[in-house]
């Protein structure tokens, strides 16, 4: 497991709803939360904004939305891991429902991340798929039912408990994360209390009256649940 991947953690994932200055504004707020609380915050942003956000924050783990397995050379329009790392990327999502990969490519991409020391956050949409992905040895697995993404409805307790257990049974080096449908600090608290070591969201933060305050509330809820385990 990548030693830079700490627990507990929060993923702030604006996807492409924010970009440029709007993305940087939320990143700076999240950066302050990370500084104040000590929690690891993974902040995703459009690839073109990676340097902007990296150069203007100190405490965030800058995270790309995706990455490919190619090496320097040919590969027009693919995402080169070395280029991302040089720009400041320290972690990456792989196989998100909005950017899926074949299992063969997923495995190759996780290996490339290991070569470069990039934290791999691999997505799975079921308990069974999460077990299969765990065998590829990513640093983190987000096991989220795809149909719950953006709904504001989190997976039921049984799913969270079973999935976390099976990921750990399959590969104890992988950090289990449950995330789909998360919208409040209470959701974060509940998920971590049930066994996950991190969570995160998109719409739950962006649609909040104050996204910056929502990030802080979520971070504090995750820490509280971790301390009560």
- In 10 A of CB 36, how many CB atoms? 12
Catalytic, 82? Answer: no
Handedness of CA 81, 85, 88, 92 (dihedral sign): positive
Name the active-site residue from 35, 82, 90, 96: 96
Task: Give the residue from 210, 198, 227, 142 showing the smallest Cα distance to 10.
Answer: 198
Catalytic, 96? Answer: yes
**How would you classify residue 15: left for phi > 0, otherwise alpha for psi between -120 and 50, otherwise beta?**
left
Name the active-site residue from 144, 162, 186, 220: 144
Point out the residues that are catalytic: 96, 144
């Amino acid at each position: 497991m990548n030693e830079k991947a700490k627990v507990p953690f929060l993923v702030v994932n604006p996807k492409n709803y924010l970009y440029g200055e709007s993305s940087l504004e939320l990143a700076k707020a999240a950066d302050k939360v990370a500084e104040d609380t000590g929690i690891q915050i993974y902040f995703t942003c459009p690839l073109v904004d990676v340097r902007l956000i990296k150069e203007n924050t100190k405490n965030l783990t800058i995270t790309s939305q995706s990455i490919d397995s190619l090496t320097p050379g040919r590969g027009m329009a693919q995402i080169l891991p070395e280029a991302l790392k040089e720009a400041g990327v320290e972690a990456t999502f792989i196989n998100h429902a909005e950017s899926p990969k074949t299992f063969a490519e997923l495995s190759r991409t996780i290996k490339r991340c290991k070569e470069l020391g990039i934290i791999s956050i691999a997505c799975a949409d079921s308990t069974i798929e999460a077990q299969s992905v765990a065998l590829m040895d990513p640093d983190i697995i987000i096991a989220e039912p795809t149909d719950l993404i953006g709904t504001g409805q989190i997976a039921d307790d049984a799913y969270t408990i079973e999935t976390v257990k099976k990921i750990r049974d399959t590969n104890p080096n992988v950090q289990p994360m449950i995330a789909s449908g998360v919208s409040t600090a209470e959701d974060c608290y509940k998920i971590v209390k049930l066994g996950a070591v991190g969570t995160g969201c998109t719409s739950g933060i962006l649609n909040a009256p104050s996204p910056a305050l929502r990030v802080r509330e979520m971070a504090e809820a995750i820490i509280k649940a971790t301390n009560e385990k």
